[in-house]
Amino acid sequence: MATWLSPCARFLLLLLLSQQKFPSHASDTLTANQRLSGNQKMISQDGNFALGFFQPAVVAEGSNSKWYIGIWYNKIPGQTIVWVANRAKPVSDPVSSGLIISDDGNLVILRNHSESPTWSTNIKNNKAANSTVAILLNTGNLVVRHGPNTSVVLWQSFDDITDTWLPGNKLSRNKKTGVVKQMTSWKDQGDPTPGMFSIGLDPKGSTQYIILWNNSVVYWASGNWTGNSFSGVPELSPTNSYPISGYTFQFVDNDEETYFTYNVKSDPQIFTRAIIDISGLFQTFVWIEATQAWVTFFTQPKTKCSVYGTCGENSMCSENAASSCSCLKGFVESYPNNWVLNDHTSGCRRMVPLKCANNSSMNKQDKLYLIDNVRLPDNAHIINAANVHDCELICLSNCSCTAYSHNGTCLIWHDHLMNLQDSTGGSDRIFIRLAASEIPNSGTKKWWIIGIIIGGFIILSLGITVVYFLHKRSRISSINQVDGTLISFKYSDLQFITRNFSARLGTGSFGSVFKGVLPDTTTVAVKKLEGFHQGEKQFRAEVSTIGNIHHMNLIRLLGFCSKGAEKLLVYEYMPNGSLDKHLFDSGSITLSWRIKYQIAVGIAKGLAYLHEECRDCIIHCDIKPQNILLDASFVPKVADFGLAKLLGRDFSRVLTSMRGTVGYLAPEWISGAAITTKADVFSYGMMLFEIISGKRNLEHTETNMEAFFPVLVARKLLEGEVQILFGTELNNGVSVEEIERACKVACWCVQDSESSRPTMGKIVKILEGLVDIEVPPVPRYLNVLAEGSNNVEFSSYEQLSE
Q: Cα angle at 678 between 677 and 681, to 5 degrees?
A: 100
Q: What is the DSSP letter of 301?
A: S
Three-class SS state of 272: strand
- Other C-beta atoms lying within 10 Å of the C-beta of residue 767: 23
Q: Which region, left, alpha or beta, applies to residue 163 given φ > 0 means left and ψ of -120 to 50 means alpha? A: alpha
Active site residue 160: no
Q: What is the DSSP letter of 521?
A: S
528 is in an annotated binding site: yes
Q: What order do you get walking across the sheet with 257-264 strand by strand? A: 170-174, 257-264, 247-253
Contact 721, 707 (CB under 8 A): no
Q: Which region, left, alpha or beta, applies to residue 323 given φ > 0 means left and ψ of -120 to 50 means alpha? A: beta
Which one of the listed residues 202, 622, 640, 680 is annotated catalytic? 622
User: How many residues are there in the chain?
Assistant: 802
Contact 540, 488 (CB under 8 A): no
Contact 795, 657 (CB under 8 A): yes
State the DSSP string of 69-138.
Answer: EEEEESSSSS--EEEESSTTS-BS-TTT-EEEE-TTS-EEEE-TT-SSEEEE----S-TTGGGEEEEE-T
Rounded distance between C-alpha atoms, residue 263 and residue 138, angstroms: 13
Distances, alpha carbon 772 to alpha carbons 44, 242, 353, 755, 762, in Å: 34, 8, 52, 18, 10
Residue 440 is which amino acid?
P
Question: Phi and psi for 493 in degrees, rounded to 5?
Answer: -60, -45
Contact 547, 555 (CB under 8 A): no
Residues in binding site for ATP:
528
Annotated active-site positions, please?
A: 622
